[in-house]
Amino acid sequence: MSSALFKLLLLVFFVIMFNPQKSEGQFKEWCMADEQTPDDELQMALDWACGRGGVDCRELQANKACFMPNTVRDHASYAFNSYYQKFKKNGATCYFNSAAMITDLDPSHGSCKYEAIP
């Protein structure tokens, strides 16, 4: 193999390996309630997110897309993720007093869609 061809292949390799991904291939993440957190703590964080936190929690009401399953953990996960996605570009975290964590598994189910903003 000539040295020019080798250099060209090496350049192509580095461009492929170190080129930032395009928007359609960006990593997605969701903020979910931590399985270890007691329901009373989740409820306090859920109340904050849907109140002072500024999250639109109407999808969690009866007969709405994300009402079922009707558990504090599932409702908190939806609210936590909504808050995180809405405000992460402004420095918000997925913390909620240690009640939440980041996942790369899409928690959407049925007609309930969890937003993921890269």
DSSP string, 32-94: EE-TTS-HHHHHHHHHHHHTTT----GGGSTTSTT--S--HHHHHHHHHHHHHHHHGGGT--S
- Give the span between the Cα atoms of 49 and 72, in whole angstroms: 13
- Tell me: domain 23-118, CATH 1.20.58, correct? yes
pTM of the prediction?
A: 0.78
Residue 10 predicted with pLDDT over 60: no
User: If you average pLDDT over residues 47-51, what whole number do you get?
Assistant: 98
Rounded CA separation 36/34 (Å): 5
| Domain ranges for the chain | 23-118
> Which range, of 2-16, 19-33, 82-96, averages the lowest pLDDT?
2-16
Query: Once rounded to an integer, what is the mean pLDDT over residues 96-118?
Result: 96
Chain segment 61-70, per-residue pLDDT in tens? 999 999 999 9
Q: What is the number of residues in the chain?
A: 118
Secondary structure (3-state) at 19: coil
pLDDT tens digits for range 52-96: 999 999 999 999 999 999 999 999 999 999 999 999 999 999 999
* Cα–Cα distance for residue pair 88/117, rounded to 1 Å: 9
Q: Is the pLDDT of residue 21 over 50?
A: no
From residue 22, give the alpha-carbon distance in Å to each of 17, 25, 27, 89, 115: 13, 6, 10, 18, 19
What are 59's two structure tokens? 């999808």
In which element (H, E) is residue 102 found? strand 100-103
What pLDDT score was predicted for residue 23?
A: 43
Across the range 26-34, mean pLDDT stands at 94
Q: What is the pLDDT of residue 76?
A: 98
